[in-house]
Amino acid sequence: MRGCVEDVSLAFDRWDDAHVRGPGLYVVIERDPTTAFSDPMGSNRWPVEDCPSVFDQSGALFEAAQSVAVACDGAVVVRSDGTVRPSMVRLTQLTEAEAETVDQLPYADWMGTRHMSALETSTRDAVFAVVTLSEENGRVTVFRDGTYEDRQRGVLGEKW
């Protein structure tokens, strides 16, 4: 999934244009169902009729991700078997009890709402990882267990 998100970033060629917003993605990869802390984002949906699984080898994953990245709000949820939930979601904030179990999270100055939410979401037991694409500059970030590794657009496609 990270590679696909990188490809979406690299395919967009207007990052340096003033007043242009690029594609943005927020992908949650579940270990267990995340329905307890996610709510549907209106009519925003992943096109499961075209790409039901992230293991699709036909190019449908890239096409679906690119389409969603420019047209939809919310997080894409990938189940542990690779299938994608049709409804895009909003992830709720950590509960007070959850927040108490998390040490000081490493928020960075560049993080906006999407990235801060992804960092917090990555601390939940039901979540294996979260991948984001920044619509501001094409940065791709992988969040796991309250930590993150990010790549600026200039080094995407290289080994992590």
pLDDT at 50: 96
Residue 155 reports pLDDT greater than 80:
no
Q: What is the DSSP string of 54-114?
A: TT--SSHHHHHHHHHHHH--SBEEE-TTSBB-SEEEEEPPPPHHHHHHS------TT--HH
More confident residue, 81 or 153: 81
Domain 2-155 CATH superfamily: DNA integrity scanning protein, DisA, N-terminal domain (3.40.1700.10)
Domain segments of the chain: what residues? 2-155
pLDDT at 16: 84
